[in-house]
C-alpha cells in the first residue's frame, strides 16, 4: 500500500488526493435512500452465530447508544463506504471505537497502550478508522451528558492529534516509525499535566490492576479442582466447560481435536516460540462469551499446564468471521481467498500493533457441529485492560481520545503512505473541524438506529435478555 518513491512525489500524491477529495467534504454524512435497515444488517451478520447466545448480544447492545455502537460495526462499514474517500489506503483496525484501545504487556514486560481488537482489520481508506473513533467520542460524550461545545473540543483534540502525529511520522525515518510505541510508564509526565490528582490515582490503580491480569490470575479465577485435577469452572452462560456441552463419549474425541488444532496452530507461531508452546500440555476447554459485538461467535478458552499445576497457560481460541469492511473496500484492496480469516486477523494485528502477544497465531478447524471455521489464538489475559469510558469527565475523555488518535496514527503510518497522508491532511485544522461535524451527524444516526433496534426488541422482532 506504500509507493516507495521519493518523498516529494509522495507529497504530490497526497496533495492531488486533496484536490479530488477536499478535506471539508469529510464533514458530510447523509444516509443513502437505499440504506439497509440497521436491524436487518445486524440479523444478517448473526446468521452463522450460536442462536442461544444472540439474546445476550442484543441485551448488551441495548444498554446504551454507545453499547449499540460498539456492536454495530457492520452498519457503519456500509455507511462509511458512501462517504468521501481520499484514495489513500492503510491497514485498518476496522472497529476503532474507544473501547477497542487499551493496555497490555509486551514480550519485554513493558505495559503498552495500543489498539487491542482486530476482528475487523482489513486494508482500506485510513479515514474510515478515524471517523469510527471520532463518532465514538461524540457518542460517549453524549452518553456522559457533555454539552456540544465540550464534545467538539474532545473530537477536535483527537483528530488534531492524529493529524500532527502523522506529520511527525512523515518526517521520521523508517525504523523510527517502526519502533514507536506508547509505553504507559513513559506517558506519565504527559498525563500528569492533563489529569487531576484524583484521576491520576485512578490511573495508577488501573496500571496496578492490569499488571495482575495474567494467565496465573485467570487460572485462579476460572478453574477449580475436580477429583484431584484442575478443570475450568462452570459459570453459565458466560463460561461453559466442554464437559457440559458434550456427552461423555464425545469429550475425548473433542480433546483429541483440540490437541490436533494446537499442533497445527503451532506452525503459525514464529519458529523460536514453538518450543515454548511445546512445554505445555493440554488440560481442558470451555466456551466463553466475550465482548459486545462478538457475542454469538464461537470462542473457547484452552487450559494448558507447563512444569506443573502451578505453571498454567490459558489460550483464547476465537472464531474469525469475514471483516465487515471486506464487501465495501475497492476491489484492488481485497485480500486473496487463500488467506483465512484467522490469518487476516493475525497479520493485521502484527502489522498495526507496536508489539503483539507471543502466542498470537491462527488455525482452521472443524467445530463440534461439524462445520469448518477459521480461528485465531492468543493468550486469554496478558496485562490486558480497557478504560471505562462511562466514568470519564470531559478532560479525561479528551486526553484519552487524543492518546487513541496518536496510536491510530502510528499504526496507519506503519502500514500506509504516511508522507502522502500527512500531505493530504495539511497543516491546518480543516480536517479536524470536518470530523467534528461528521461525528455529530453520525451520532444522530446512531441514536436513530438504536431507537429502531430498541423498537425491534419491544415488538419481538428480535429477542434480548439481560447479560449476567
Structural domain spans, the chain: 7-211+390-458, 215-379
Q: Do the beta carbons of residue 455 and residue 62 sit within 8 Å?
A: no
Q: How far apart are CA 113 and CA 110, in angstroms?
A: 10
Q: How far apart are CA 462 and CA 54, in angstroms?
A: 9
Strand partners, 314: 303
CB neighbourhood size of 431 (10 A): 24
Per-residue pLDDT of the chain (468 residues; tens, 9 = 90+): 666 779 999 999 999 999 999 999 999 999 888 899 999 999 999 999 999 999 999 999 999 999 999 999 999 999 999 999 999 999 999 999 999 998 877 776 677 889 999 999 999 999 999 999 999 999 999 999 999 999 999 999 999 999 999 999 999 999 999 999 888 766 655 655 666 666 666 666 665 665 556 667 778 888 898 888 889 999 999 999 998 998 888 888 888 988 999 999 999 999 999 999 999 999 999 999 988 889 989 999 999 999 998 899 999 999 999 999 999 999 999 999 999 999 999 999 999 999 889 999 999 988 777 789 999 999 987 666 777 899 899 999 999 999 999 999 999 999 999 999 999 999 999 999 999 999 999 999 999 999 999 999 999 999 999 877
CA atoms within 13 A on the CB side of 13: 20
DSSP letter (8 states) at residue 39: H
Q: Do the beta carbons of residue 137 and residue 98 sit within 8 Å?
A: yes
What distances in angstroms separate CA 118 from CA 1, 88, 350, 426, one per listed residue?
19, 20, 10, 29
For the record, the C-alpha cell of 139 comes out as 457518542
Q: What is the dihedral angle through the alpha carbons of 208, 209, 214, 220, rounded to the nearest 10 degrees?
A: 120
Instruction: Give residue 91's pLDDT.
Output: 98
Instruction: Give residue 351's pLDDT.
Output: 96
Instruction: Give residue 49's pLDDT.
Output: 94
Its pTM surpasses 0.95: no
Phi, then psi, of 366 in degrees rounded to 5: -85, 130
Instruction: Give residue 203's pLDDT.
Output: 61
- H-only helix segments in 360-428: 394-415, 418-425
CB-based contacts of 252: which residues, under 8 Å, 6+ apart? none
Instruction: Give residue 187's pLDDT.
Output: 64
Phi, then psi, of 112 in degrees rounded to 5: -110, 150
Of the candidates 312, 111, 318, the one whose C-alpha atom is nearest the C-alpha of residue 218 is 312
Of the candidates 450, 455, 392, the one whose C-alpha atom is nearest the C-alpha of residue 145 is 392
Amino acid at each position: 500500500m506504500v509507493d516507495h518513491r521519493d518523498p516529494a512525489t509522495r507529497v504530490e500524491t497526497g496533495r492531488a488526493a486533496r484536490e479530488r477529495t477536499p478535506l471539508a467534504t469529510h464533514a458530510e454524512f447523509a444516509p443513502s435512500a437505499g440504506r439497509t435497515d440497521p436491524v436487518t444488517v445486524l440479523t444478517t451478520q448473526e446468521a452463522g452465530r450460536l442462536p442461544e447466545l444472540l439474546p445476550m448480544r442484543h441485551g448488551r447492545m441495548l444498554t446504551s447508544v454507545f453499547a449499540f455502537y460498539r456492536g454495530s460495526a457492520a452498519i457503519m462499514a456500509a455507511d462509511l463506504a458512501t462517504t468521501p474517500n481520499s484514495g489513500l489506503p492503510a491497514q485498518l483496525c476496522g472497529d476503532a471505537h474507544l473501547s477497542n484501545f487499551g493496555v497490555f504487556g509486551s514480550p519485554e514486560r513493558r505495559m503498552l497502550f495500543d489498539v487491542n481488537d482486530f476482528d475487523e482489520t482489513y486494508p482500506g481508506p485510513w479515514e474510515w478508522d478515524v471517523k469510527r473513533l471520532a463518532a465514538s467520542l461524540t457518542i460517549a460524550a453524549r452518553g456522559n451528558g457533555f454539552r456540544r461545545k465540550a464534545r467538539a473540543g474532545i473530537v477536535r483534540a483527537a483528530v488534531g492529534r492524529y493529524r500532527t502525529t502523522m506529520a511527525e511520522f512523515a518526517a521520521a525515518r523508517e525504523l523510527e516509525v517502526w519502533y514507536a510505541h506508547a509505553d504507559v510508564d513513559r506517558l506519565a509526565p504527559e498525563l500528569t499535566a492533563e489529569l487531576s490528582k484524583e484521576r491520576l490515582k485512578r490511573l495508577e490503580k488501573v496500571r496496578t490492576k492490569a499488571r495482575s491480569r495474567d494467565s496465573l490470575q485467570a487460572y485462579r479465577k476460572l478453574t477449580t479442582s475436580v477429583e484431584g485435577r484442575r478443570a475450568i469452572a462452570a459459570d453459565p452462560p458466560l463460561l461453559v466447560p466442554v464437559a457440559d456441552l458434550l456427552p461423555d463419549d464425545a469429550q475425548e474425541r473433542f480433546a483429541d481435536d483440540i490437541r490436533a488444532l494446537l499442533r497445527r496452530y503451532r506452525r503459525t507461531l514464529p519458529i523460536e516460540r514453538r518450543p515454548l508452546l511445546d512445554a505445555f500440555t493440554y488440560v481442558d476447554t470451555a466456551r466463553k462469551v466475550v465482548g459486545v459485538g462478538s457475542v454469538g461467535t464461537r470462542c473457547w478458552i484452552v487450559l494448558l499446564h507447563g512444569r506443573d499445576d502451578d505453571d498454567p497457560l490459558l489460550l483464547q481460541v476465537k472464531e474469525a468471521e469475514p471483516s465487515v469492511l471486506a464487501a465495501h473496500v475497492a476491489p484492488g484492496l481485497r485480500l486473496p481467498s487463500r488467506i483465512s480469516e484467522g490469518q487476516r486477523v493475525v497479520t493485521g494485528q502484527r502489522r498495526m500493533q507496536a508489539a503483539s502477544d507471543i502466542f498470537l497465531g491462527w488455525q482452521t478447524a472443524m467445530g463440534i457441529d461439524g462445520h469448518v471455521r477459521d480461528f485465531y489464538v492468543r493468550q486469554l489475559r496478558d496485562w490486558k485492560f480497557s478504560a471505562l469510558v462511562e466514568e470519564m469527565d470531559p478532560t479525561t475523555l479528551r486526553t484519552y481520545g487524543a492518546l487513541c488518535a496518536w496510536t491510530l496514527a502510528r499504526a496507519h503510518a506503519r502500514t500506509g503512505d504516511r508522507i502522502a497522508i500527512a500531505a493530504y491532511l495539511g497543516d491546518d485544522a480543516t480536517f479536524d473541524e470536518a470530523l467534528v461535524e461528521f461525528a455529530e451527524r453520525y451520532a444522530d444516526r446512531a441514536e436513530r438506529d438504536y431507537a429502531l433496534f430498541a423498537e425491534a426488541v419491544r415488538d419481538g422482532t428480535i429477542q434480548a435478555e439481560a447479560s449476567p
